[in-house]
Structure 1
Amino acid sequence: MKYLLSLIHLTTLAASSAIQQPLNEVPHAQVPLSKKPLVSSTALQDHITSDNLLKRAKKLFDIAQLGVEEYNHPTRVIGSDGHRGTLDYIYSTLSELGDYYELSNQTFDAVVGNIFESRLVLGDGEPTSATPMSLTPPTKNKDAVFGPLVLVANEGCDASDYPSNTTGSIALIKRGVCAFGDKSAAAGKAGAIAAVVFNSEKGSLSGTLGEPSQYHVATFGLSNEDAQPFIRKLIDGKLIPSSAYIDSIVHKAPTTNIIAQTKGGDQDNCVMLGGHSDSVAEGPGINDDGTGSLSLLEVASHLVKYSVENCVRFAWWAGEEEGLLGSDYYVSQLSEKENLKIRLFMDYDMMASPNYAYQVYNATNALNPTGSEELRDLYTEFYKSHGQNYTFIPFDGRSDYDAFIKHGIPGGGIATGAEGIKTKQEVELFGGVAGQWYDPCYHQLCDTVDNCNLDAWEVNTKLIAHSVATYAVSFKGFPKRTGVSSTAGVEKSLYHGPKLVM
């Protein structure tokens, strides 16, 4: 059965013939709320099984197949049939739970980009291993452009960094100080026909230009090692004829966040949690973040058996992979009064990496809204009480918690690892293979059902259930909200979502 429905009709989806039966064995929401037992962590955890999670993962992969016609492979990237099908599946599953939740859809325009071909040739050599930046515009007329390579002074953040001969050239710019998008725009204003940002550290460089600008030019990332020979020639005054080519599109398209809030519980004191519903264009995204979004759906499906003292608000964000678009938009629309109703936000992104580590965001009160550290400690205490090891990871803006902590809302979350390299010490803690990525299929076509570690997924979904039940019952001992200002993000973050921005 196809899940594809127009986003325009999502608000009437409960009456649609495309509604899917939820995986739960019996309807839960028919019992009056006043007669339901108060939720407890143990009771809610007991409903979580890897078998049910696997069933949902298989369903989601079938939905990702809807993207094949347009992308030639399964995907759930925003704007695709696979993503629209994902939204239909989430909404229809929730709507089948009766009147326990207040469901809402928040549609917004998201920036979507796709790169079809690219090539950068510096001097008389072979094409370089340069990577086009995400959301880069194409070269003029989507054709190759030719011009000399010109070295930009400093980090290319100011107009004065660009020499007078930048016009008609390909600007070579050092990474650092300002965002890639700012560098691209500055190069465009200086008359460059393309830009190349080279890494200031070891390794290749890929990132995103972020919000489109009329001044952006076709922009590549290049490793420091590959850039140095050309830099030396330019310093010596040598001419380096070069060419650049990018065939890409950047446009805006409507997409949707889905929000489900319990009708029961104190509506002025909400525990909120979220995962993102989209994948990258390159693959089906079953671990990233099918696992997080399906964990939320599974917990939400069982919570309806219980009453709550505080309201619980689930969110499925769109456009995370394009730069946290859905969560950014959601928080930007909150009034101060509505902001203060959210006592904390919990982010669940990538729950089942095959070469996993149990990772906890190192969210301290010193650098984040007060309460973030208490949430961090809830996670670590759960792992310890279940005989599991854990490790801390940076709270650096890579997922959907970012907008919340920047607007005074305590936040945190857990993960199992993306493209990072697993160490020998971590193998001693979690097993697995040292020297490999936590998720070798991160942002790739092989991120399928077979890419999920079911044991880790079950443990983490039980932890999600524990976090929901804990705060749905009481915020005793948890710091009260006092305002929407925050010290978070005082230092510039290298990330805004999964891609580097500077």
Structure 2
Amino acid sequence: MHPSNPGNPPERAGSSPTRRRTAVTAGLAALLMTAGALAASPAHADEVPLPDLVTAEAIEAHLANLNTIAEYNGGNRATNTPGYDVAALYVEDQLKRAGYAPYRHEYDYEAWRENSPAVLSQTTPEKIDYELGEHFETMSYSGAGSVRGSKVTAVNPDAGDSGCTAEQFADFPEGNIALIKRGSCPFGEKVQNAADAGASAALVFNNEDEVFLGTVSELSDIPAIGVSGVLGEELASLTRHLRLKVEVDSEVNVESSYSILAETPGGRADNVVVVGGHLDSVEEGPGINDNGSGSAFLLETAIQMAKQEDPNNKVRFAFWGTEESGLVGSNEYVADLTEGELDDIALYLNFDMIGSHNYGRFVLDGRMELPGSGGAPSGSGAIAKVFEDYFEDQGQVSEPGVLSGRSDYFAFMQAGVPSGGLFSGADGIKSEEQVEWYGGTAGEMFDPYYHTPEDTLENINWDSVAELSAAGAHGVEFFAESTLAVNGVLSLSAVQVDLPRKGDAWLR
């Protein structure tokens, strides 16, 4: 389920009578008021608003095609599979038909693969085999290794910063398995601290009951396993006599892949609105919600924008590759930008899952109101407000979604680009109150089919697609016309103001 670019200031006139300054000031005030009104209507009064053009029916047609592509190509669209390549050809063909000139951003990356399922079992005081997917998951980029019958040492298991400092491992027995609680620092830091202290493996248990998918980002020196909160607490209570078996069979190879990008021909090239979502799926299934739904929305939005008059700000559509292997495509794209190219990006909008079966309306938390949110550059809160205001105008409840670095906005946020977007929910659990807002089933995941073979067309919630795609199209249209509230750039070309002067000379 990571700069702002100042606009060109008006020319400064020389000294002048007070009444002339007043006239110019009044003109600029009118200009600003007109710019603010851009949110309420399309750039051109005779155009149909983009949310009315980007329909759920059109998105469904794209999703049906992506589903067919997966069905005939191994059941998925994972990076470096035939399913991904054919899906990419479909996106490129649709963009070309609409008049775009799509291009591929190619990159090399270290691809992590498991050769066989990981093993976690208790050998003492009892013999218990734990279930992959229910009790534990291998962290991506875990190092390979086999640890049999090793003792377990818990590292500050009640602290929020468990395992975050080398000092916590000062008396760690070499060769033991480190049991660490999920908390305030990245998993990679916890696992590296354990490895430096001589641990044979690291188990990171969740701060909530369920198991989770984690990554150490770069290949670790020791096996790294994510454990459910329930099992982690149980193991922590048994450490005096506990011995475990941990096996991870993995490897890293250098592979190549690509993302697909296309942009509107018109619009300011120094104030670009980047709109993205990942095209790849997990290997386990066709990924029709994750993230066929976001990709289909982007594609239909691009098609409909091509029929409109040129926007004030250039819009760049990005279909990221290799997201499911650690946000690789978006990270590599941002890393390859020059300083000038990065400065030309006004903001980034992310759409990763908009059709969750048991959905919610989540607006990425640009104001960082939630405990798990962090790192949002200035202007990100303004992006959130645009989406929140739209939902409110439709009489629909929306909530902040944690801005945790979990999707492709991460690289943009790290680079200082204001970021936001929409999300319909993944592995979180819906509450009774949220059922009142959205319908659905309390006590179940927002997407019960997340990262499974059942993430298919049949399990898409079309109300979710309709509501979030309309809000998403509104956001794209809004920022294509003005990014003033986000980065202070006023698109003067968008505003027609009838002034009596041009510089010092009278026009009439």
Both proteins in one fold, TM over 0.5: yes
The one-letter amino acid of 2:349's match is: M
Q: Deviations over 1:363-419 (max 9, x none)?
A: 129973332222222212222222322222222222222222232222211111111
Distance 2:238 2:102 in 1: 61
Distance 1:280 1:339 in 2: 29
Report the counterpart of residue 286 of structure 1 in structure 2: 288
Cα 1:185–1:457, aligned 2, differ >3 Å: closer, same or farther? same
Deviation at 1:159, TM superposition (A): 4.9
Structure 2 residue 383 is the aligned partner of structure 1 residue 375: yes
Written as runs of structure 1 = structure 2, the 5 A alignment for 1:447-462 is 447-462=455-470
Deviation at 1:334, TM superposition (A): 2.2
Contact 1:76 1:281 (8 Å CA) reproduced: yes
Greater Cα radius of gyration, structure 1 or 2 = 2
Written as runs of structure 1 = structure 2, the 5 A alignment for 1:185-264 is 185-199=192-206, 201-213=207-219, 215-228=220-233, 230-235=235-240, 238=241, 240-264=242-266
SS in 2 for 1:42: coil
Percent identity over paired residues = 33
Distance 2:368 2:136 in 1: 38
The one-letter amino acid of 2:180's match is: I
Structure 1: 4+ residue segments shifted above 6 A: none
Report the counterpart of residue 76 of structure 1 in structure 2: 77
The one-letter amino acid of 2:222's match is: V
Contact 2:56 2:469 (8 Å CA) reproduced: no
Cα 1:364–1:165, aligned 2, differ >3 Å: closer, same or farther? closer
SS in 2 for 1:45: helix
Deviates more, 1:412-421 or 1:165-174: 165-174
Report the counterpart of residue 348 of structure 2 in structure 1: 345
Written as runs of structure 1 = structure 2, the 5 A alignment for 1:68-467 is 68=74, 74-98=75-99, 101-115=100-114, 116-122=116-122, 123=124, 124-129=126-131, 130-137=135-142, 139-140=144-145, 144-154=146-156, 155-159=162-166, 161-162=168-169, 166-199=173-206, 201-213=207-219, 215-228=220-233, 230-235=235-240, 238=241, 240-308=242-310, 309-364=312-367, 368-467=376-475
Report the counterpart of residue 29 of structure 2 in structure 1: none
SS in 2 for 1:288: helix
Deviates more, 1:302-311 or 1:123-132: 123-132
The one-letter amino acid of 1:121's match is: S
What 5-or-longer segments of structure 2 have no aligned partner?
Answer: 1-42, 157-161, 370-374, 491-508
Contact 1:343 1:480 (8 Å CA) reproduced: no
Contact 2:179 2:205 (8 Å CA) reproduced: yes
For these two proteins, the number of residue pairs brought into alignment is 431
Cα 1:365–1:271, aligned 2, differ >3 Å: closer, same or farther? farther
Contact 2:141 2:217 (8 Å CA) reproduced: no
Give me the TM-score of the superposition, normalised by structure 1. 0.78
SS in 1 for 2:413: helix
Q: CA RMSD in A?
A: 2.8
The one-letter amino acid of 1:133's match is: T
Cα 1:206–1:251, aligned 2, differ >3 Å: closer, same or farther? farther
The one-letter amino acid of 2:347's match is: L
Written as runs of structure 1 = structure 2, the 5 A alignment for 1:476-491 is 476=484, 478-480=486-488
Deviation at 1:76, TM superposition (A): 1.5
Report the counterpart of residue 32 of structure 1 in structure 2: none
Cα 1:410–1:177, aligned 2, differ >3 Å: closer, same or farther? closer
Deviates more, 1:163-172 or 1:113-122: 163-172
The one-letter amino acid of 2:66's match is: L
Deviation at 1:158, TM superposition (A): 4.7
Distance 2:413 2:463 in 1: 30
Distance 1:248 1:171 in 2: 20
The one-letter amino acid of 1:176's match is: G
Deviation at 1:227, TM superposition (A): 4.0
